[in-house]
Amino acid sequence: MEIFDRLSGVAVPLPMINLDTDQVIPKQYLKSIERTGLGKGLFHDLRYDMEDGERPDFVLNREPYRKSKILITGENFGCGSSREHAPWALADFGIRCVVAPSFADIFFNNSMKNGVLLIVMPQEQVDILMADAENPDNCVMTVDLETQTITRADGSAMAFEIEPFRKARLLNGLDDIGLTLQKVHRIEAFEARQKADRPWLYA
């Protein structure tokens, strides 16, 4: 998993509540088991019309938001089905941080395990960042995970909270497999003992 330490870039405003995972990445993209190539389907039904032409009024189809790295959105983001394709699509598009007042639990866990930082902040702070993002001249922000701050275009910083374990995973780029491999010596020692005690299991 890619390390997350410090992220600077355009923040895109999406002031919608209860935006579910089917809206993040609709069902026709779920046939893929690859984590790449899904960015084109991110918010598909919002971004494209019935002929797959871009909707000019949708924010990701306008500059400078086409290359957004941070998403500012409403409460209960990522509700609905548990599809892991949702954080894959965000990351493949280039969005590696989402700020909202609240997230659906399964989406929250899936995102953190896939290197996408989710930041929960009070509504009043989200509103300030949303206003910044809605101004194309003021929409660049910096998220520093080590210091747990979001620095706005005017230089002011907002602090955010994150569980130490999740922070360590992101800073070290550890997905579930990476965490397991940190204990590889203990795993190998167990296997050696088991081979000696129960050799028929390895015949």
Per-residue model confidence as pLDDT tens digits over 34-93:
888 999 999 999 999 999 999 999 999 999 999 999 999 999 999 998 889 999 999 999
Instruction: State the pLDDT confidence band at 185, using cuts at 50, 70 and 90.
Output: confident
Instruction: State the pLDDT confidence band at 31, using cuts at 50, 70 and 90.
Output: confident
Evaluate if pTM is beyond 0.85: yes
Alpha-carbon distance values, 171 to 4, 95, 166 (Å): 5, 17, 9
Alpha-carbon distance values, 73 to 3, 126, 176, 199 (Å): 23, 8, 27, 56
pLDDT at res. 176 = 67
> Does 129 score more than 80 pLDDT?
yes
Going from the N-terminus, what domains does the chain have, and what CATH number goes with each? 6-172 (3.20.19.10), 175-203 (no CATH)
Instruction: State the pLDDT confidence band at 203, using cuts at 50, 70 and 90.
Output: confident
Per-residue model confidence as pLDDT tens digits over 146-180:
999 999 999 999 999 999 999 999 999 887 666 66
